[in-house]
Structure 1
Amino acid sequence: MNKSHDYDKILTRLTTILQRLYSGETLSVTELAEEFNVSTKTIQRDFNERLIRFPIEKTGRRWRMQQGFGIEKIQDIDNLLTLQILETIAGSIGKGFEARSKALLGKLKNATQLPIQSYLPIEDITSHAALFSLLESAITSSTALRFNYHEKPRLVHPYRIVNFDGYWYLLGFEPKSGLVKKFYIKEIRGAEPTEHSFIPDPKLKERLEGALNAWFDPNCEPFELHLLAKRAIVKYLERRPLSPSQHLIARHANGDIEVVIKATSVPEAVELLKTWLPDLIVLAPTFVKEAYEKTLSLALRRENGHDAV
């Protein structure tokens, strides 16, 4: 079996599975797990999460492409765009990774040149691929890790690798402090697995999935953020929600909408709001509205050449 870097393995596995599905094969989770030397849980995650946007379906204990989606149908724009994004991510991760993935992605795209270019500023992690492999293995097996971070020894229960604004982080629970922390992966030193396993907290896993950006605080109970979205951005929020927790509560005659999402901290909320200036307005809670207005006021003072008061 190819012993290439872990993220190389993931992309290779996914593209190989897709290629076989589009070619008309029906695939078994157990057989794929044995073929790729991973757990059946990993393969199930491939189908249920990583490949969820593709027209696949489960029939009995096997997976297949839905009827009418053979290899000749791969030119569907949603699938092509997904493959283009995968290719862009591969290039961002590192040149070596990009070269190894391009041939497989090329086969899936069926040699079609797309008029699409995705710009995803993801930092190059080629030099840290071994660390990524170790971290994912520990997360999958729920194994505690030891490493040094900012010149301090840490014992951490790893939960998830995430990318915020192009930068890679490990989210993990630190038993000593009793807190969930974000660790910038490129600053982790001397990581090694321990002999101790842990039982993941399902509530914590759910909370981590709702993170809006790097400013989220997994140690705080989420609060509701009531927002007014102006008509100019409504179509974008309908295409891609601000958060998995987003739900519509009102639609106004002028085209504006009101939505509610969950946030864990004021900085997390403010950072999201800044992205949609001036078309996303805070209705509640008051403490977020005030913090946002203070941030805007400070920005205007500095823009006009005045120091903060």
Structure 2
Amino acid sequence: MKPEEIIPEVIKRLSKGEALSTKEIADEYGVIPSSFNDKFRPIREKFYKHFIAHDKSSGKWTRIEPLFLEKMLLTPEETVVLTALIRNTSMCGTALSSTVKEIVENYVKRTKSSVFKQDVLEKINDDLEIVFAQLKYAIEERNKIKFTYNEQAIIFYPYKIINLEYYWYILGYEEYSEYWMEIEKKPEKSNKVKTFTIAKIKSLEVLNERYKYDFSKTNTELKNAMNAFFSVDDDSDTIELLVVHWLEDYIVRAPYFSGWYKTDEEVFVKDTKQDKAVKYFVYEVKSSNKYFADIIPTILKYMPNIRVRNNEKLVGKIFDSIKIFTEAHT
């Protein structure tokens, strides 16, 4: 095997607390010691200088900080490949050597931007960046995590980091919650697929225990998620919405409406102000929240250009929301 092939595994073992000499690594993996050091040292220097040290007394590579990989957005495989590119900047010719270096640096920067997608409504500080890295690590390794949320301890199976309405959430399976035990007096396992606001997570710890869970149903429901009120455990209702014709182009283009299905039906609704009929397209939208909390905010945002068709229960909930708002401001 080439040293580059075994280095990611070595880095993972160091992160978990093993101390390994170059000779031990060479004997176990069947590589030449000098060749391993030649490839490993530049990777350590560029990406793990503050996390991996060489103990001269024992001759072993050791970790400086426990579980340092949990706090890094780049995977060991990525750092190995990126270092290889830096080592071979002349592979495309001298004229392009600086471009190779630039591509590597841009990849490192884009790793953060692709995870965070910085938004004006939620800034990612240094502490929150570490939380993102821990979550990313736990998702990739399928490790359980433990954290505090609203002063309650949670045991969680992290599945995906998602962005809904400009805020970041972690989606997964809640195995245990102090809320259910102490407040609701329910069984120890809450057994629910849930979302938690990442910015509110405290004392996050990646547990040394892997989980098994089938998230196939979650993937299906996630396609229809418009905000954090969507539910995987509740059965979905199909809502028929009327969308005014001039708004259709926006709905087709905006990823926010990716779960909306346009039917072939068109209806005309009389506009009393203009004294003429206006064309509306019929859309089918999934709602998985029994209170319609996952769809009502969108309807309120675009009303009266989006209307509800043949669902008196949903219309009643919308009127209730409007009434509460009106009473609070009169």
Q: Scaled by the length of structure 2, what TM-score is found? A: 0.55
Pair 1:276 & 2:302 matched: yes
Pair 1:180 & 2:193 matched: yes
* Structure whose CA Rg is larger: 2
Could you tell me whether the CA contact under 8 Å between 2:231 and 2:288 is conserved in 1?
yes
Check 1:205–1:143 CA distance in 2 against 1; reply closer, same or farther (3 A cut): farther
Instruction: Summarize deviations over 1:59-81 as a string: whole Å, max 9, x none.
Output: xxxxxxxxxxxxxxxxxxxxxxx
The equivalent of 1:286 in structure 2 is 312
Opposite residue 198 of structure 2, the aligned amino acid is: I
The equivalent of 2:266 in structure 1 is 251
The offset of 1:244, in angstroms, is 2.8
Q: Scaled by the length of structure 1, what TM-score is found? A: 0.59
The 2-side partners of 1:32 and 1:192 are apart by 21
The equivalent of 1:129 in structure 2 is 129
Opposite residue 294 of structure 1, the aligned amino acid is: D
The offset of 1:33, in angstroms, is 9.2
Pair 1:261 & 2:285 matched: yes
SS at match of 1:144: strand
The equivalent of 2:322 in structure 1 is 296
1:142-161 equivalent positions in 2, closer than 5 A: 142-161=142-161
Opposite residue 186 of structure 1, the aligned amino acid is: A
Could you tell me whether the CA contact under 8 Å between 2:217 and 2:232 is conserved in 1?
no
Could you tell me whether the CA contact under 8 Å between 1:223 and 1:262 is conserved in 2?
yes
The equivalent of 2:165 in structure 1 is 165
The 2-side partners of 1:261 and 1:204 are apart by 17
1:62-211 equivalent positions in 2, closer than 5 A: 90=113, 120-175=120-175, 176-188=189-201, 189-211=203-225
Query: Aligned residues: percent identity?
Result: 19
The equivalent of 1:53 in structure 2 is none
The offset of 1:120, in angstroms, is 5.0
The equivalent of 1:222 in structure 2 is 236
The 1-side partners of 2:161 and 2:310 are apart by 31
Opposite residue 299 of structure 1, the aligned amino acid is: F
The equivalent of 1:56 in structure 2 is none
Instruction: Summarize deviations over 1:73-117 as a string: whole Å, max 9, x none.
Output: xxxxxxxxxxxxx99x959969xxx9xxxxxxxxxxxxxxxxxxx
The 1-side partners of 2:79 and 2:114 are apart by 27
Q: From 35, 55, 65, give the equivalent of 2:81.
A: 35
SS at match of 2:262: strand
The offset of 1:290, in angstroms, is 1.2
Instruction: Summarize deviations over 1:220-252 as a string: whole Å, max 9, x none.
Output: 122111100112312211222653332112134
The 2-side partners of 1:125 and 1:231 are apart by 42
Opposite residue 126 of structure 2, the aligned amino acid is: T
Check 1:276–1:158 CA distance in 2 against 1; reply closer, same or farther (3 A cut): same
Q: From 232, 237, 242, give the equivalent of 2:246.
A: 232
Instruction: Summarize deviations over 1:123-174 as a string: whole Å, max 9, x none.
Output: 3243211111111121122221122222222211111112223222111211
Opposite residue 142 of structure 2, the aligned amino acid is: S
The equivalent of 1:103 in structure 2 is none
SS at match of 1:124: coil
Unaligned 5+ runs, structure 1: 11-30, 38-85, 99-118
The 2-side partners of 1:174 and 1:181 are apart by 7
Check 1:152–1:298 CA distance in 2 against 1; reply closer, same or farther (3 A cut): closer
Check 1:3–1:198 CA distance in 2 against 1; reply closer, same or farther (3 A cut): farther
* Greater mean deviation of Cα atoms: 150-159 or 188-197: 188-197
The equivalent of 1:79 in structure 2 is none
Unaligned 5+ runs, structure 2: 1-42, 49-70, 84-108, 176-188, 269-277
The 2-side partners of 1:168 and 1:294 are apart by 29
The 2-side partners of 1:133 and 1:32 are apart by 14
